[in-house]
Chains A and B, each alone.
Chain A
Amino acid sequence: MNAPLGALDRPNSYIGRSVSRPNAKRLLAGKGRYVTDLVLPRMVHAAFLRSPYAHARIVSVDAEAARTMPGVRLIATGGDLARICQPWTGTLDHFKGMKSAPQLPLPVGKATWAGQAVVAIVADTRAQAEDAAEAVMVEFEELPPVIDIDAAREPGADRVAEELGDNICFHAKLDTGGIDGLFATAAHVVEEEFLFGRHTAVTLEPRAILADYEASEERLTVHHATQTPFQFQDLYSRHFGIPEAQVRVVAPDIGGSFGMKLHVYHEDMAVVGLSILLGRPVKFVADRIESFVSDIHARDHRVRARMAIDAAGTIIGMDVDDVTAIGAFSTYPRTSAVEGNQVIRLMGAPYRFGNYRAELSVVFQNKVQTSQYRAVGHPIAAAVTERLVDMAAARAGLDPAVMRERNLIADDAYPCESPTGYRFEALSHQECLARLKAMMDYDGLRAEQAVLRAKGIHRGIGIASFVEISNPSPAFYGIGGARISAQDGAVVKVTPSGEVRCLISVTEQGQGTETIIGQIVADQLGVAREKVRVITGDTEVTPHGGATWACRGAGIGGETALRAARALKANVLKVAAAILQARTDELDLLDGWIVDAVGQQRLSLADVARIAYFRSDTLPPGTEAQLTVAHHFAPQGYPFAFTNGIQGCHVELDAETGFVKILKHWVVEDCGRIINPLLVDEQVRGGVVQGLGAAFFEECLYDAAGQLTNGSLADYLVPMACEMPDIEIDHVETPTLDTILGAKGCGEAGTAAASAAALNAVNDAMTPFGATIAQIPMTPARLLRALGRI
């Protein structure tokens, strides 16, 4: 860590170096400034009365008694906010036939999930607002809830939204042709029905927003715990009719996000509206119970899938049916169909076969919305594919690792295209598998497993390859009509003292965005890292950009910073050349000094800046001293920068209790050029832990009436330190040639295949019992049922 520069290292060579995060010291001192912490003059607090029913008509709202309670400033219903906020609809144009009902901050007419905010109460303190909420009388008339995914699709089923005609949000099919014939004549066919529970992000800081509308200037400032401030600037502007330039969104320190904090939430839109109605700053911080019933959930898929192989164990085709339930609305603006779309398109992605058929049904029901959460769709595609590969290996009499060696796309076969339409530039599945086997001592573990089985100890080994989508181009949201930028922008400038500031549109949620941008700028410009200050998360300060999601920070944000820094360096050298009466191609910038061709220090960057800012009279006439550069970069070439990797999981199953101990987990992943291994490794580990959470613990449980029954952190299990293993990480680096930097994403990798590897490991452990499981989370009760013990 913070390894000193070796004698052979060029000064300022920071790309690829493990350095710690400058901004982490502040967080370690308890001086983080989260939206949760912020206080503004005259600030008031919002609380919400929520629907106790999954589906109910709102007959009447009586807020008279509540209005007179201490501290109460405003009570607003759906109708009050509908007058100032344009409704939104969560569809994308390129998802043909997709539909969803329009949404408002608070519902008018009926509530469509248990926990939906129905009435907003604003008071001087949150406690007063909650007191008053208890005095608001809402008469609900219960309607039959739509819960079950099969019943929801029956003709004549009760509907979540009457006006939509049925409960189908989106339906898609992929078919390369001839699938029925292929499966009928295949040497072996394996099939399974998989169930993936709903789970949710559980960011440790819940959602938080502080909106401040100033009517005299028609200005809206929103401090918002979000990944995507520019997206919200655009949305607040358009839905509340405020000029975009008058809307400022600030995302300060964010206590975890994982994709959950980039969606439009009803309470957030309500808070902006409440601030407009009151002309005062209004704050809302979800408590944990509110988070469970109003943050997006994710997954909730039932996948019926089969795989055909020939007699030699070669995969020849897959046939997949995915039904996913998404709650009462499709989320805005990214929709709730992206996960299913990615499930059916990532299916089988690491493997070499050409025959594929898939059907996707995205179904409305009376639960909270599902949408994009870390590794969107990946864990489902990986678990289905990898479990079928293991089942096929068993049928063909092959070891799972050998089965993969035979079927993974060869490392020299790129570029190539998947049967689902994804184009891969260059991946490294074979190399990753070879590294994984060596790292985990695969053969040794198999030998140990055999010995221990004889002693009644049941260990399982699971491996799972994966492909990760990163760096989406405008070919995704842009084409779909969503105003979600695929480009990012940076302003890099030399200060009058010769230091450097980089204002960039990618955002920081703790993964180290600011650190890697600082490394890249310092490296490319030729200054010490300590001289570069990186500023993010404020629409009034940085250029417009997509910000941080889908692993864009390094690949797109990093490339933006690189190109901006190179442009600034060229400008610095032009000024230096004018001062030194030299040619720019004879000069370089190294460690904060202008050096000549033999490396002699000629002039400090601080002197260049001093002359440019204060003594431009001494420069030759016509010298352009442009020491501030703005640069935008949008990915071109491949529509996505796909990454890949493989994971291994080693578990021990107690067949008497159904408890599983995760002994060790391994990841080999290829995210292209690595900027900071220290940060990449821990981000991959964090991703693995979220994937293992889904595999063993995390599930939002609902009863038949659509009530969430485990919506607290005591009931909903997230992985704890004592349950998690040490996780060993290794890397293969296959840089993308679409950019100079060559970086791809790494944030989803851990989550993408951890649950798949765990599923295979547990099934492997159960082999002696002739038992299998195809549902996650693999709880002790489910495992005991699979084992026939209960």
Chain B
Amino acid sequence: MTITASVTLTINGEDVTREIEPRETLADFLRRDMQLTGTHTGCEMGVCGACLVLVDGKATHGCLVFAVQAEGSTVETIEGLSERGIIGDIQAAFHERNALQCGFCTPGMLVTAHSMLAPPGVPTREEIRDALSGNYCRCTGYEAIVDAIEAVARQRAGEEVAA
């Protein structure tokens, strides 16, 4: 399998062009070719959520997309979200509430949390749990994650009201 294809996309605000094997998944491409190892692979079949990244603003399983399919797309990973500061309040709430242990699921959790919290309003705990059902965490018991997301939702809603 030596045939390669060219792919051009935007990753964390940077334009990137690479020659890659068509069989390479977006998750592997990000991890190996781009050294963005914050994206993790836990099942490689779109179940566990550890590989979630934003593709054109939408939470997407990096393991279910071939990198060549991301041609022309804008991809944002945990590294980009962190550096842009857009999930700073979610990360702070996770830290404060200890909503992570080993941290392997955490980047995917944060991508889901970011997507879930984009629309206005405060989701119920049941809605948060439902939205997290595509993100496996084996360490925490989930409750702290739900707490952290709920706290950010309330905080953001409160700030909007205050403004």
Which A residues form the contact surface with B (CB < 8 A)? 1-2, 20-21, 24-25, 27-34, 36-37, 70, 127-128, 131, 201-206, 253-258, 287-288, 509-512, 678-679, 682-690, 712-714, 718, 720-724, 726-727, 750
Partner of A202, one of B21, B138, B146: B138
Q: Are the C-beta atoms of B125 and A726 separated by less than 8 Å?
A: yes
Q: If A25-B95, A30-B39 touch, does A682 touch B140 (CB 8 Å cutoff)?
A: yes
Report the bound CA distance from A203 to B130 in whole Å. 22
Give the number of residue pairs across the A-B interface with Cβ within 8 Å: 188
Shortest Cβ distance from residue A509 to the other chain B in the assembled complex, whole angstroms: 6
Taking the complex as formed, is B54 at the interface, i.e. its CB lies under 8 A from any CB of chain A? no
Chain A residues with CB below 8 A from B77, complex form: 30
Of B40-48, B66-74, B153-161, the stretch lying at the interface with chain A is: B40-48
Q: If A30-B38, A686-B139, A750-B141 touch, does A204 touch B98 (CB 8 Å cutoff)?
A: no
Per-position contact with A for B26-59: 1 when CB-CB < 8 Å, else 0?
0000010000111111111101101000000000
Q: Are the C-beta atoms of A204 and B136 separated by less than 8 Å?
A: yes
Report the bound CA distance from A71 to B145 in whole Å. 43
Taking the complex as formed, is B100 at the interface, i.e. its CB lies under 8 A from any CB of chain A? yes
Shortest Cβ distance from residue A547 to the other chain B in the assembled complex, whole angstroms: 16
Report the bound CA distance from A24 to B94 in whole Å. 9
Q: Are the C-beta atoms of B133 and A204 separated by less than 8 Å?
A: no
Chain A residues with CB below 8 A from B60, complex form: none
Chain A residues with CB below 8 A from B138, complex form: 201-204, 256, 258, 686, 690, 718
Partner of B143, one of A510, A679, A726: A726
Report the bound CA distance from A291 to B146 in whole Å. 28
Partner of A254, one of B1, B78, B102, B130: B102
Partner of A204, one of B37, B105, B134, B144: B105
Q: If A678-B98, A689-B142 touch, does A24 touch B125 (CB 8 Å cutoff)?
A: no
Per-position contact with A for B92-123: 1 when CB-CB < 8 Å, else 0?
00111110111111110010000000000000
Report the bound CA distance from A343 to B145 in whole Å. 33
Q: Are the C-beta atoms of B146 and A721 separated by less than 8 Å?
A: yes
> Of residues B43, B133, B146, which shows the largest number of chain A Cβ atoms within 10 Å of its Cβ?
B43
Q: List 16 A-B contacts (CB under 8 A).
A: A20-B95, A27-B100, A28-B82, A29-B78, A30-B107, A32-B38, A34-B104, A127-B21, A203-B104, A256-B102, A256-B139, A288-B42, A685-B144, A713-B48, A723-B133, A724-B129
Chain A residues with CB below 8 A from B79, complex form: 29-31
Shortest Cβ distance from residue B40 to the other chain A in the assembled complex, whole angstroms: 7
Chain B residues with CB below 8 A from A2, complex form: 96
Q: Count of B residues near A, CB < 8 Å?
A: 58
Interface of B is mostly: loop
Q: Are the C-beta atoms of B48 and A204 separated by less than 8 Å?
A: yes
> Of residues B42, B48, B140, B145, which shows the largest number of chain A Cβ atoms within 10 Å of its Cβ?
B42
Partner of A255, one of B24, B103, B140: B103
Q: Are the C-beta atoms of A718 and B141 separated by less than 8 Å?
A: no
Report the bound CA distance from A249 to B57 in whole Å. 41
Report the bound CA distance from A551 to B105 in whole Å. 23
Shortest Cβ distance from residue B53 to the other chain A in the assembled complex, whole angstroms: 10
Shortest Cβ distance from residue B122 to the other chain A in the assembled complex, whole angstroms: 17
Report the bound CA distance from A33 to B91 in whole Å. 18
Partner of B132, one of A28, A32, A34, A722: A722
Chain B residues with CB below 8 A from A257, complex form: 102
Taking the complex as formed, is B18 at the interface, i.e. its CB lies under 8 A from any CB of chain A? no
Chain A residues with CB below 8 A from B9, complex form: none
Q: Are the C-beta atoms of B91 and A689 separated by less than 8 Å?
A: no
Shortest Cβ distance from residue A723 to the other chain B in the assembled complex, whole angstroms: 8
Partner of B100, one of A24, A254, A287: A24
Counting from the closest, the 6 A-B pairs by CB-CB distance are: A30-B38, A685-B141, A27-B103, A30-B78, A510-B101, A255-B104
Report the bound CA distance from A161 to B75 in whole Å. 53
- When C-beta atoms are compared, the residue in chain B nearest to A26 turns out to be B103
Q: Are the C-beta atoms of A722 and B130 separated by less than 8 Å?
A: yes
Chain A residues with CB below 8 A from B44, complex form: 287-288
Taking the complex as formed, is B137 at the interface, i.e. its CB lies under 8 A from any CB of chain A? yes
Q: Are the C-beta atoms of B137 and A204 separated by less than 8 Å?
A: yes
Shortest Cβ distance from residue B140 to the other chain A in the assembled complex, whole angstroms: 5
Chain B residues with CB below 8 A from A205, complex form: 40, 42, 102, 104
Chain B residues with CB below 8 A from A750, complex form: 141
- When C-beta atoms are compared, the residue in chain A nearest to B35 turns out to be A39
Report the bound CA distance from A36 to B39 in whole Å. 11
> Of residues B96, B110, B126, which shows the largest number of chain A Cβ atoms within 10 Å of its Cβ?
B96
Report the bound CA distance from A509 to B103 in whole Å. 9
Chain A residues with CB below 8 A from B129, complex form: 721-722, 724
Report the bound CA distance from A614 to B96 in whole Å. 40
Partner of A28, one of B23, B31, B110, B140: B110
- When C-beta atoms are compared, the residue in chain A nearest to B38 turns out to be A30
Q: Are the C-beta atoms of B42 and A686 separated by less than 8 Å?
A: no
Report the bound CA distance from A714 to B134 in whole Å. 11
Shortest Cβ distance from residue B65 to the other chain A in the assembled complex, whole angstroms: 17
Shortest Cβ distance from residue B152 to the other chain A in the assembled complex, whole angstroms: 13
Q: Are the C-beta atoms of A204 and B50 separated by less than 8 Å?
A: yes
Partner of A1, one of B24, B91, B96, B130: B96
Partner of A29, one of B21, B38, B105, B144: B38
Chain B residues with CB below 8 A from A690, complex form: 138
Q: Are the C-beta atoms of A682 and B101 separated by less than 8 Å?
A: yes
Q: If A21-B98, A722-B129, A750-B141 touch, does A714 touch B47 (CB 8 Å cutoff)?
A: yes
Q: Are the C-beta atoms of B103 and A253 separated by less than 8 Å?
A: yes
Q: Are the C-beta atoms of B103 and A28 separated by less than 8 Å?
A: yes
Report the bound CA distance from A512 to B98 in whole Å. 10
Partner of A683, one of B47, B91, B101, B104: B101
Report the bound CA distance from A70 to B2 in whole Å. 9
Shortest Cβ distance from residue A474 to the other chain B in the assembled complex, whole angstroms: 29
> Of residues A28, A37, A253, A510, which shows the largest number of chain B Cβ atoms within 10 Å of its Cβ?
A28
Chain B residues with CB below 8 A from A33, complex form: 37
Report the bound CA distance from A235 to B85 in whole Å. 45
Chain B residues with CB below 8 A from A714, complex form: 43, 45, 47
Chain B residues with CB below 8 A from A127, complex form: 1, 21, 23-24
Chain A residues with CB below 8 A from B48, complex form: 204, 713
Chain A residues with CB below 8 A from B24, complex form: 127
Q: If A204-B40, A678-B98, A724-B129 touch, does A686 touch B104 (CB 8 Å cutoff)?
A: no
Q: If A20-B95, A720-B133 touch, does A685 touch B140 (CB 8 Å cutoff)?
A: yes
Chain A residues with CB below 8 A from B96, complex form: 1-2, 20
Report the bound CA distance from A686 to B129 in whole Å. 15
Partner of B31, one of A37, A206, A253, A679: A37
Q: Are the C-beta atoms of A27 and B106 separated by less than 8 Å?
A: yes
